[in-house]
Amino acid sequence: MTKIGDRASKEWSITAKSILSIYRNFFFWVFRRPLNGIQLAEQFVRTLLEGFLTIVIGSVVMGMFIAWIGGYFGSLYGAVNYIGAAATFAILHEFTIMLVGLLYACRVGTAFTVEIGSMAMSGQLDAQRMMAVEPLKHIVIPRVVASVFSIVLLLAVSIGIGLVASAFFLQLWFNITFATVFDNAFMLVKPGTVIQAFVRIAIMGFFISLNACAVGFNFTGGAIELGKAATKSIVINFMYVMVIQLVTAILVTYSRWFTDVL
């Protein structure tokens, strides 16, 4: 048991050092020369398409959850007219940010880790270095920058689907009409409410993609180790998403950044 614990501790120590190394090198290379526009566009479309279906399904389930909780307690306490306002504010301020961050880490982040880890395992990264091509510049940076933009669009999709799904199931399950839901739906929503959501998800997108690329970039071993690397990528990004969610929620609430609603 001690040997297993020591081995696991050593593996996580190596992973932490790899991530810190990528952080340092990323900010060194990102400003060296202009990004390759073709690679950036390819990664943007790729991440958008890979994350789209997962986030659509997750947003529908989120809408069902909000509809059930809102419809049940709204009917129980006679607050039906305020369900739309509460649901919209909750979706914009917290629910979709957490949902999109976690699903993006699972779907896109893990794909980055496995893809780049496979490149490292097959020697493609070393081959680029032998040709005086910095792999971080051409492989990691386009994926990270593209993720920041694609996750913002995916958040917008999630917000729209979450609102429509919650209204649909409120009518289906509790006979609360669309007019009732959307009559006061945006009563608590101000421009700052929307801005803070997109700023927070962009921060998540940056760290999710950079962490995922870092785990794969310094990967060594075979297929079994690559599976472990993918698991590490998910665990690390789950922790990052929850911490970023908590810290940014506290900041925007108590500092009043972007929060012109309360």
- Smallest Cα–Cα separation from 136: which of 238, 222, 209? 209
Cα–Cα distance, 130 to 100 (Å, whole number): 38
Secondary structure letter of residue 242 according to DSSP: H
Return the pLDDT at 3: 60
Please tell me the pTM assigned to this model: 0.92
Average pLDDT of the chain? 89
Range of the domain at 213: 37-254
Percent of the chain with pLDDT over 70: 94
Cα–Cα distance, 12 to 132 (Å, whole number): 30
Inside any domain, residue 10: no
Inside any domain, residue 245: yes
Inside any domain, residue 89: yes
Inside any domain, residue 88: yes
- SS3 labels along 155-203: HHHHHHHHHHHHHHHHHHHHCCCHHHHHHCCCCCCCHHHHHHHHHHHHH
- In this structure, the number of other CB atoms found within 10 A of the CB of residue 43 comes to 24
Residues 191-235: pLDDT tens digits? Answer: 888 999 999 999 999 999 999 999 999 888 888 889 889 999 999
Q: State the greatest distance between any 2 C-alpha atoms of the chain, in Å, as a whole number.
A: 70
Yes or no: say if 221 and 49 are a contact pair by the CB < 8 Å rule. no
Please name the residue that has the structure tokens 């020591």.
6
Percent of the chain with pLDDT over 90: 59
Inside any domain, residue 1: no
Task: Please report the sign of the dihedral spanned by the C-alpha atoms of residue 155, residue 160, residue 161, residue 162.
Answer: positive
Cα–Cα distances in angstroms (integers) from residue 155 to residues 96, 141, 182, 195, 196, in the given order: 7, 21, 20, 12, 12
Inside any domain, residue 9: no
> What domain count does the chain have?
1
Contact partners, residue 127, CB within 8 Å, separation at least 6: none
Average pLDDT over residues 242-256: 88
Yes or no: say if 26 and 141 are a contact pair by the CB < 8 Å rule. yes
Inside any domain, residue 25: no
Tokens of 100: 């999109």
Tokens of 164: 């429509």
